[in-house]
Copies of this chain bind each other. A is one copy, B any other.
Amino acid sequence: MGIRERKEREKTERRQAILMAAQRLFNEQGFEKVSMRNIAETIEYSPATIYLYFKNKNELLFALQSQAFGQLARSFESVFAIEHPAKQLEAVGHKYLEFAFQHPELFELMFVMNGPMQAVEARGETTPWASGRAAFERVVQVMQHGIDAGVFTRTDNAETAALMAWSQVHGLATLYLRKRMMIFPEDRRQAIMEEVMALFAQVLQHGL
């Protein structure tokens, strides 16, 4: 009897439907419109029903965040075709920025919102933050490649160097997305960001 299997399959299908509805709300309406009631409405369920599939909103956001980090990590994959380590690292940085600009609301979920991380904390130390770690690991990999190739010689710690590069680009992205670039004229913001990216690439080579 495949009833048990069908039930399970249907259950995960409904779970996925909830996640997709939430993702759509994120992308189309912004994170502020992602309420349990709005999600419920788009899948034509009662708000209470969602709680049969997710313990609470934080867990739902966590699941969504994990998916989003998967997307980001996948978007990094193409850069492994590039050989020159410095160019490769630069490409990762631009992929990161591209993702941030194309999915600002998902980016917010991944790096700004409290909800998903509270879910991680609530789960205790048993389950680490796997999706975030996996995405970061790709950058570490790129950095290690540069160290092994003898292009980056000032450190042998790929993790620290990767975090430095990540922080640089992440800082730029968040300052922009959180509207803190308002100190610059609107028509100059894009150009300034590109200048910063170019300057950082140069600094990595020769210093400032």
Contacts and interface: CB of A to CB of B under 8 A. Distances in A.
A7 interface: no
A133 B207 CA distance: 26
Contacts of A200: 164
Interface string A176-187: 001110110000
A159 B152 CA distance: 27
A114, A132, A182, A196: which has the most chain B beta carbons within 10 Å? A196
A202 B171 contact: no
- State the copy count for this chain: 2
Contacts of A196: 160, 163-164, 167
Contacts of A180: 111, 117, 132
Interface residues of A, number: 48
A154 B200 CA distance: 10
A91 interface: no
Contact of A170 (B129, B171, B195): B171
Contact of A168 (B111, B146, B164, B174): B164
Interface of A: 111-112, 114, 117, 120-121, 128-129, 132-133, 136, 146, 152-155, 157, 159-161, 163-164, 166-172, 174-175, 178-180, 182-183, 192, 195-196, 199-200, 202-208
Given A114-B179, A152-B208, 14 more contacts: A111-B178, A112-B112, A117-B182, A132-B183, A153-B208, A154-B208, A157-B199, A161-B208, A164-B200, A167-B196, A171-B174, A203-B203, A206-B207, A207-B207
